[in-house]
């Protein structure tokens, strides 16, 4: 049986009919023996940096103009009747069960209230009960089909992974002449996910003008503010009532501590100091034993100390062990919690700034890393996410064991971009890509900020054959068909040893069985329920692969954190035969498979 089959319709793209702060996720190997298989599953570090970055999401079709969004007259948020105002206040304070009771009370008195239905749908989404939210949305469309319900339905679609359907609902609302803040916010999430950053920011500006008190809109909008302004915002937000869950509040508090610590640090932003702007370096084989390859790593010099870090496309930033941090003389900057797959909670860690990082011929200074407070990270010195090279065109030639970094194609109208390791988006006060900022430390409600450093996706002539993907923070989600079911989203994850699928996605195409012989374990312990899918044919990009006895487990926590449904991962045993080129800036990936070398 061939490893891959080429799909005739090479790189035909459609906005998926199924997909949407970010949880950085690091993969780990599957160990096989005659007695059991053990998967050290996705290891997800909870960091508000990634959490907030992940809200930059969703797509228009790559080679078409984005859907027309009418401009219409500006409007303010309509005042709601008192019971609805009370319910909204309960929702925003985090009293979700009381908010549900209040909305249900409104519907008892006014069974066709679209605002009550929309509030109820949104509250169940906040409770992470996606199925209940979807059931209510279906009911609401039947009895109270109006703008608030349509906007909330779009939010359900986005969480289910139906990004195209979500976008269609929001665009219809805006083009009807209704100036709805949540619709603009939803469109911004779509634009960000497809690397349409400039138009995404214009949508956020409109959403914030219409409803600056909406917490989600407010948090997205504050990314344009200076570090000092964001510190002030987070201090006020965390001191008051909010509807964030406990884990998110902890992450936000750690992020606030990091911003304060970085502001006091006299070192500048992470930047490239070597004159070389491209490099090629060998990928290092990482073995489970002398005969079995578990993944590829990179040789990374940290303050003069050599290390081997697992190269992980499912990871964010650089995560190193306490032992390596101590050898490199790193000082604790701020506390940091690492969360992983499993049921035993997070692991302690901290952030630190490395004076000098060397990778191949490239040398960087003042780059932030995360440190796991253990002697090793999954048996290695650490992990390095491919997203740290997002300023470059990243060529992961697994088949020939090479990493190549090159300059991205230049836009004619764009200024030169400073090359750096993207270890942190908050290394300086200019995170908005050159956007002008208010001179006061008080966020300005009506500030009209441009974003000249942010651009929409550019598809260079040499990249016409690349596959457009969704980017949520560091996560690259590839539209994937499972059997005859299109529109699933799979994470490119070279840190996961093999392909994985969710039980729900697998059940749409094949039989799924409990699998007591497979153990999935991450930093937070073991996953209790593991399954095996009999047969799943995956089609992505221009490739097609058949999988037998595919490991299945639930990805709900990861999907909740990024805001859209992940149906599985494309792991190392698949990727190792490919040359994978990634353009993080423009949300484009190319999968090249050598049929002459590996066969069809």
**Chain-centre distance for alpha carbon 67:** 23
* Domains contained in the chain, CATH given: 5-52+465-598 (2.40.70.10), 62-70+80-264 (1.25.40.10), 272-407 (2.40.70.10)
Query: How far is residue 450 from each of residues 7, 399, 413, 418, 493, measured CA to CA in Å?
Result: 43, 43, 16, 20, 35
Q: Return the pLDDT at 352.
A: 95
254-266 as b/e: b if 16+ CB within 10 A:
bbbbbbbbbeeee
The secondary structure of 38-57, three-state, reads EECCCEECCCHHHHHHCCCC
Query: How far is residue 3 from each of residues 7, 8, 573, measured CA to CA in Å?
Result: 13, 16, 11
pLDDT in tens, 492-512: 999 988 999 999 999 999 999
Q: Return the pLDDT at 593.
A: 95
Query: How far is residue 29 from each of residues 42, 123, 443, 473, measured CA to CA in Å?
Result: 9, 37, 45, 23
Q: Two tokens at 540?
A: 């992505």
- CA dist 188 and 198 (Å) reads 10
Indicate the DSSP class of residue 223: G
Q: What is this structure's pTM?
A: 0.85
**Chain-centre distance for alpha carbon 38:** 26
Nearest to 395 by CA among 410, 407, 382: 407
Whether residue 35 contacts residue 182, with contact meaning beta carbons closer than 8 Å, is answered with: no
Q: Return the pLDDT at 452.
A: 46
Classified as helix, coil or strand, 523 is coil
Q: Return the pLDDT at 415.
A: 58
Whether residue 478 contacts residue 492, with contact meaning beta carbons closer than 8 Å, is answered with: yes
Whether residue 317 contacts residue 423, with contact meaning beta carbons closer than 8 Å, is answered with: yes
Q: Which residues of the chain have pLDDT under 50?
A: 1, 6-77, 429-452
Q: CA dihedral in degrees (543, 547, 550, 556; nearest 10)?
A: 20
Sign of CA pseudo-dihedral 128, 130, 135, 141:
positive
């Amino acid at each position: 049986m061939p490893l891959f089959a080429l799909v005739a319709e090479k790189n035909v793209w459609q906005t998926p009919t199924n997909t949407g702060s970010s949880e950085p996720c690091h993969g780990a190997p599957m160990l096989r023996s005659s007695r059991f298989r053990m998967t050290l599953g996705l290891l997800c570090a909870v960091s508000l940096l990634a959490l907030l970055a992940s809200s930059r999401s969703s797509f228009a079709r790559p080679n078409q103009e984005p859907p027309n969004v009418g401009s219409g007259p500006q409007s303010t948020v309509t005042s709601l009747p008192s019971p609805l105002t009370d319910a909204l206040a309960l929702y925003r304070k985090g009293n979700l069960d009381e908010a549900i009771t209040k909305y249900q009370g409104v519907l008892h008195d006014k069974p066709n209230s679209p605002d009550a239905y929309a509030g109820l749908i949104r509250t169940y989404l906040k409770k992470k009960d996606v199925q209940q939210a979807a059931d209510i949305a279906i009911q609401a469309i039947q009895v109270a089909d109006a703008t608030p319900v349509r906007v909330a339905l779009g939010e359900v679609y986005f969480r289910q992974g139906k990004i195209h359907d979500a976008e269609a609902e929001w665009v219809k609302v805006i083009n009807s002449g209704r100036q709805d803040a949540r619709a603009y916010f939803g469109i911004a999430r779509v634009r960000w996910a497809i690397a349409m950053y400039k138009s995404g920011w214009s949508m956020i500006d409109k959403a914030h003008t219409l409803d600056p008190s909406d917490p989600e809109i407010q948090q997205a909008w504050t990314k344009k503010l200076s570090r000092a302004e964001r510190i002030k915002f987070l201090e006020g937000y965390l001191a008051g009532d909010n509807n964030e869950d406990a884990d998110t509040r902890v992450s936000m508090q750690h992020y606030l501590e990091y911003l304060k610590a970085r502001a006091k640090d006299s070192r500048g932003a992470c930047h490239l100091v070597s004159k070389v702007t491209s490099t090629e370096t060998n990928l290092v084989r990482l073995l489970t034993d002398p005969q079995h390859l578990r993944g590829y790593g990179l040789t990374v010099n940290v303050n003069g100390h050599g290390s081997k870090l697992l190269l992980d496309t499912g990871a964010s930033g650089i995560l190193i062990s306490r032992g390596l941090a101590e050898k490199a003389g790193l000082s604790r900057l701020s506390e940091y919690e690492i969360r992983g797959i499993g049921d035993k909670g997070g692991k302690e860690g901290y952030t630190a700034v490395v004076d000098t990082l060397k990778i191949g011929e490239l040398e960087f200074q003042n780059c932030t890393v995360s440190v796991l407070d253990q002697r090793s990270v999954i048996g290695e010195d650490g992990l390095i996410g491919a997203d740290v090279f997002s300023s470059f065109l990243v060529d992961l030639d697994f088949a020939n064991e090479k990493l190549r970094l090159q300059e991205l194609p230049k836009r004619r109208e764009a200024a030169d971009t400073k090359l750096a390791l993207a270890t942190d988006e908050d290394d300086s006060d200019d995170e908005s890509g050159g956007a002008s900022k208010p001179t006061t430390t008080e966020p300005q409600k009506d500030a009209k900020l441009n974003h000249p450093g942010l651009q929409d996706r550019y598809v260079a002539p040499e990249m016409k054959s690349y596959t457009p993907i969704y980017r949520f923070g560091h996560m690259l989600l590839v539209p994937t068909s499972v059997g005859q079911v299109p529109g699933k989203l799979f994470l490119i994850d070279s840190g996961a040893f093999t392909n994985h699928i969710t039980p729900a996605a697998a059940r749409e195409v094949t039989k799924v069985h409990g699998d007591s012989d497979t153990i999935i374990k991450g930093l937070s312990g073991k996953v209790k329920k593991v399954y095996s899918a009999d047969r799943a044919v995956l089609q992505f990009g221009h490739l097609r692969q058949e999988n037998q006895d595919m490991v299945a487990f639930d990805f709900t926590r990861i999907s909740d954190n990024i805001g859209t449904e992940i149906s599985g991962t494309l792991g190392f045993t698949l990727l190792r035969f490919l040359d994978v080129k990634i353009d993080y800036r423009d949300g484009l990936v190319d999968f090249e498979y050598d049929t002459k070398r590996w066969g069809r």
